[in-house]
Amino acid sequence: MKSTDILDLMLKDHNRIMKYLEDVENNLGKGFGFLSNSFNTFQWNLEKHLFVEEKAIFTSYNPDEPDKKYTYFSDLMDQHTEILAIIESLRKKLQKREPFDLNELKKLLMKHKTFEEKNVYPVLDQEIDDCTKRVIIDRIKEIRL
């Protein structure tokens, strides 16, 4: 049984991002400054997380069957695009000071997080060799998550 280093790091960051989203939710009825600050923090941290996944993890993984990798990661990237599009639409509402709710985003993030924690990172941790894992972890650590 190999280590679960990548899963551990990413799970920790998933939980951190969900807390940032909770902060946004808690600030929904408060002043614009509070809401805007918490939204910016959430968005910036989510963008760093998605960057790490796409550029430090997905691109470093080269399975024996490249087709498998393609479907797998291209689905995840499509989900990233969908999540970022929702955030962009919420940001536009925020800029116009229109009310917004986070239910759709929350549902999408939970689904994405669960899929990665069950089907992506545990598999990756077992399939890649220790050397590749070290390269991935070193890269993840270059981004302050």
Partner 1 sequence: MKSNAILDVMVKDHNRLMKYLEDVKKNIKSDFDVLLKSFNTFEWNLEKHFFVEERAIFTSYNPDYIEDGHQLFTNLSKQHTSILEKVESLRKRLRSGKSIDVSDLEVMLLKHKTYEEKNVYPVLDVEISEGEKRFMIERIEEIRL
- Residue of 45, 138, 121, 125 whose CA lies nearest to 83: 45
Q: Pick from 56, 76, 102, 124: which binds partner 1 (CB under 8 A)?
A: 56
Number of amino acids touching partner 1 (CB under 8 A): 10
Q: Are 48 and 145 in contact (CB under 8 A)?
A: yes
Cα 59 from Cα 53, distance rounded (Å): 9
Q: Pick from 4, 5, 18, 48: which binds partner 1 (CB under 8 A)?
A: 48
Contact letters for partner 1, residues 84-123 (x by CB under 8 A):
----------------------------------------
Smallest distance from the beta carbon of 141 to partner 1, in angstroms?
Answer: 8
Buried b (16+ CB within 10 A) or exposed e, 112-134: bbeebeeebbeebbeebeeeebe
Which residues are at the interface with partner 1 (CB under 8 A)? 44, 47-48, 51, 55-56, 139, 142-144
